[in-house]
Amino acid sequence: MEHRPYGGIVTEDDSVREPSEITYDEDRYPARPARLRTRAPLAASKIQRTFSDPRAADASNPSYVEWLKRQSMLGDADVLSRGLSGQPSMWRNPYARPDARRAIQTASVWFTAYPISLITRPGQTYLRALGDEELWKMFQRIGIDAVHTGPVKVAGGITGWALTPSVDGHFDRISTQIDPAFGTEDDFRALTDVAEQHGGSVIDDIVPGHTGKGADFRLAEMAYKDFPGIYHMVEIPEEDWGLLPDVPEGRDAVNLDTASEAGLADSGYIIGRLQRVIFYAPGIKETNWSATGPVLGVDGRTRRWVYLHYFKQGQPSINWLDPTFAGMRLVMGDALHSLGDLRTSALRLDANGFLGVEKSVEGPAWSEGHPLSEAANHLIASMVRKVGGFSFQELNLAMEDIRDTGRVGADLSYDFINRPAYHHALATGDTEFLRLTLRTSLEVGVDPVTLVHALQNHDELTYELVHWDTEHHADLYPFRGEEIAGSQLAEVIRQDLLDKLTGDAADYNLVFTTNGIACTTASVIAAAQGHTTLDAIKDEHVDDIRSAHLLLAMFNAWQPGVFALSAWDLLGLLPLPADQVHDLIEGGDTRWVERGAHDLIDGNPDAATSSSGMPRGRSLYGSLPEQLTDRNSFASKLRTVLAIRERFDIAIGSQIDVPDVAHPGMLVLVHRLDGGDATQTDAPVQITVLNFSGEAIQGTVRSDALIARRNVRNAVTGRTIGAVDDLLSFPVSLAPYAGLFLLVEDEEPEA
């Protein structure tokens, strides 16, 4: 038995697994597979290969196959799982139920990093830079207690003997190894040590939905042992290759058009059209299926495959219900490596809502909100909790799906519900849609304490509004004085965002396919404040942009749940001019304009790019050392916002009301500071009051959750601003983009 340098094992048994096929009876069981049947193997291809060329990068060369096995994630996973099996550490932690409040008490305010955009000190790796003692002292001063590293393991693909670059910002993982471009495992462990010394935690990523086209996929194409079971991939017999499109020279696969997809579905090979095509682009990605070219197998047969990918062609989807459970083993191994070997506290589950697909009787295949996704997430999240960690999911589906998956799966969910809504409120100066999303979330059962309320991350401003546009497309909602259907509501909100934030309104915010808008938080604000070009944003505009940025921080931080922000937020970065990243966005992925490089601590002030080559972005606020010497800076004022959040433990409180408001630009959130204990009905009441408009306003806060004849105190200043009257209301005044953190006094004042 040969041991791999990264923990994997290669066995001497090179026997080849003959493929089996799960089929379904079209007449009696049109919706799903009915039984597992055996049948005579399909006729073998007449194309034969000899096994003689030691230089060949294909299955004819045993050395090449061995080399791929040494790179494979599945091989690593098998070794990692054996090392933990039967150990007492696997039984020390509760794991059955998600616990958002426990997770928040571990890590409440997150800094979300992005590896390829961080400018480091000369000669310093990305992971060493994240573990810089000086940086963590600043994080601790500001109130940040966790760092989400972003994806740092090797990603992209393998072609021949060579690694190919990532096609999706390192979310197409192909290895459990740390990418040398970002550092080493020792660097990662040093980061976790420094974080711990400053009361912080480190959060890593796993991707349960797909891999890149690395060693595991190449071995799957070769039909090697269990590897085809990792993926949703189907072998197409040679006699039906006419159903497949030709693969252009220099490429290994081609996306199916809708006609090819339908033809293969009619022939019973694939389940056909899915509920939607994410990243749809005419001529580039018209379906969720791609076909490979001819690939020589380890048994001498040449095959062509069709494989599923929800996202890009280089991200083949993992099959969670293959009889080998190879995909599940791969993902669990990756998770255990991060939590055990790298000593992280938590994991982000990327693309975890797309783990089950099933043929439907009519219409598209069932691919979103599938029970298998819930079951798979339960397994992943339970394993994470079992070894003492927690997890959060980025699940952009209907609120019921977020709720149901969260009941047994990840401890926390990314707040896709309210993020487009608060951008809409800022862009229009009207919080009506934001109030609707907040109330609907409470009604459906998605408690804000279970959400990660974030400013910018590496992704676009998502405006798909899946809840309104899919399951609830025909439901009626009150909006702007009338009742409109969910699909119409989603269309109105999307159009408002496009009109206010892109095109003639702001040529620097770019549309990203059908998913959303590529932008930074600062550029959303700049567009809302009427700046049409990057050059139009002058130094004299920074104060207004900073005020609105702090308003959005208050919205996200002064409610239950996690608060997250990025370096692009801390430094107030604007998008890159499109011509600076032309080669990256020419394929349609405009998100690269929002990922400008940045230097948090002035460690390399002369650097024009990050070590990965991303151009430096324009910062409106300056570096953290600059800001922390200026009491009026964004970071210094954010420090006050987060100190109030921590002092009153609002992160683990309960949201009890989102009342109507006296001015369209106002938003009022009412919370009970009960630590999540619903029996504490006499717990202190807290009110967050925000002004999303650029004008000073006076209004009235009214809520049935208030207590008459109690004083209301401003927690920041310590001053009493008024008293709740017998109508359960009190007046407030707010400057443009201002916010108030108010407390209702425990006792009625003396007459």
Can you spell out the DSSP letters for 405-420?
Answer: HHHHS-SEEE-TTTHH
Residue 29, pLDDT above cutoff 70? no
The contacts of residue 48 (CB under 8 Å, 6+ apart) are 300
Q: Tell me the one-letter amino acid at 611.
A: S
The contacts of residue 614 (CB under 8 Å, 6+ apart) are 116, 117, 581, 595, 596, 597
Task: Over range 564-590, report the average pLDDT.
Answer: 95
Please state the pTM of the whole predicted model. 0.87
If you write DSSP's letter for every residue of 490-516 in order, what string do you get? Answer: HHHHHHHHHHHHSGGG-TTSEEETTTE
**Residue range 625-637, pLDDT digits in tens:** 999 999 999 999 9
Amino acid 4: pLDDT: 37
Helices (H), 229-336: 258-266, 326-336
Higher pLDDT, 341 or 42: 341
d(C-alpha 6, C-alpha 229), whole Å: 23
Amino acid 91: pLDDT: 85
What is the percentage of the chain residues whose pLDDT exceeds 90? 82
Amino acid 748: pLDDT: 67
Q: Are 512 and 497 in contact (CB under 8 A)?
A: no
**Residue range 106-142, pLDDT digits in tens:** 999 999 999 999 999 999 999 999 999 999 999 999 9
**Residue range 434-470, pLDDT digits in tens:** 999 999 999 999 999 999 999 999 889 999 899 999 8
What is the percentage of the chain residues whose pLDDT exceeds 70? 92
**Residue range 736-747, pLDDT digits in tens:** 999 999 999 987
Judge residue 89's burial from the number of C-beta atoms within 10 Å of its C-beta, 0-12 exposed, 13-18 middle, 19 or more buried.
Answer: exposed
Q: Look at residues 80, 178, 104, 646 and name the one whose alpha carbon lies nearest to residue 390.
A: 104
d(C-alpha 400, C-alpha 475), whole Å: 14
Q: How many residues does the chain have?
A: 751
Q: Are 307 and 54 in contact (CB under 8 A)?
A: no
Amino acid 87: pLDDT: 83
DSSP code at position 238: G
d(C-alpha 617, C-alpha 633), whole Å: 19
Amino acid 747: pLDDT: 73
Q: Tell me the one-letter amino acid at 314.
A: G
The contacts of residue 13 (CB under 8 Å, 6+ apart) are none
Handedness of CA 270, 271, 272, 273 (dihedral sign): negative
Question: How are beta strands 562-566 and 451-454 bridged, if at all?
Answer: parallel
**Residue 93 to residues 89, 652, 662, 723, Cα–Cα distance (Å):** 8, 21, 48, 47
- Indicate the pLDDT class of residue 8, thresholds 50, 70 and 90: very low
Q: Look at residues 303, 322, 243, 315 and name the one whose alpha carbon lies nearest to residue 279.
A: 315
Task: Over range 407-429, report the average pLDDT.
Answer: 95
Residue 576, pLDDT above cutoff 60? yes
Q: Tell me which residue has tokens 């919370």.
A: 671
Amino acid 12: pLDDT: 36
Which tokens sit at 747? 């006792």
H/E run at residue 158: strand 157-159
Q: What's the distance, CA 24 to chain centroid?
A: 34
Q: Are 167 and 112 in contact (CB under 8 A)?
A: no
Q: Look at residues 523, 405, 410, 513 and name the one whose alpha carbon lies nearest to residue 464.
A: 513
Residue 572, pLDDT above cutoff 50? yes
**Residue range 367-380, pLDDT digits in tens:** 988 999 889 999 99
Bridge partner list, 655: 671
Q: Taking the CA atoms of the chain, what radius of gyration do you get in angstroms?
A: 27
Residue 406, pLDDT above cutoff 90? no
H/E run at residue 101: helix 100-106
Residue 679, pLDDT above cutoff 90? no
Amino acid 686: pLDDT: 98
The contacts of residue 87 (CB under 8 Å, 6+ apart) are none
Q: What phi, psi does 512 have (nearest 5°)?
A: -110, 105
Which tokens sit at 568? 């692009």
Q: Tell me which residue has tokens 């019921």.
A: 400
**Residue range 277-321, pLDDT digits in tens:** 988 888 889 999 999 999 999 999 999 999 999 999 999 999 999
Residue 5, pLDDT above cutoff 70? no
Residue 6, pLDDT above cutoff 90? no
If you write DSSP's letter for every residue of 49-94 in order, what string do you get? Answer: --S--TT-SSTT-HHHHHHHHHH-HHHHHHHHHHHHTT-GGGGSS-
**Residue range 487-500, pLDDT digits in tens:** 999 999 999 999 99
Q: Tell me which residue has tokens 């290669």.
A: 10
**Residue range 35-92, pLDDT digits in tens:** 333 333 334 344 444 444 667 999 999 999 999 999 999 999 999 888 888 888 888 8
Query: What torsion, rounded to 10 degrees, do the Cα atoms 86, 92, 98, 100 define?
Result: -140
Pick from 17-31, 191-205, 339-353 the range whose average pLDDT is largest. Answer: 191-205
Higher pLDDT, 506 or 681: 506
Amino acid 20: pLDDT: 34
Amino acid 19: pLDDT: 35
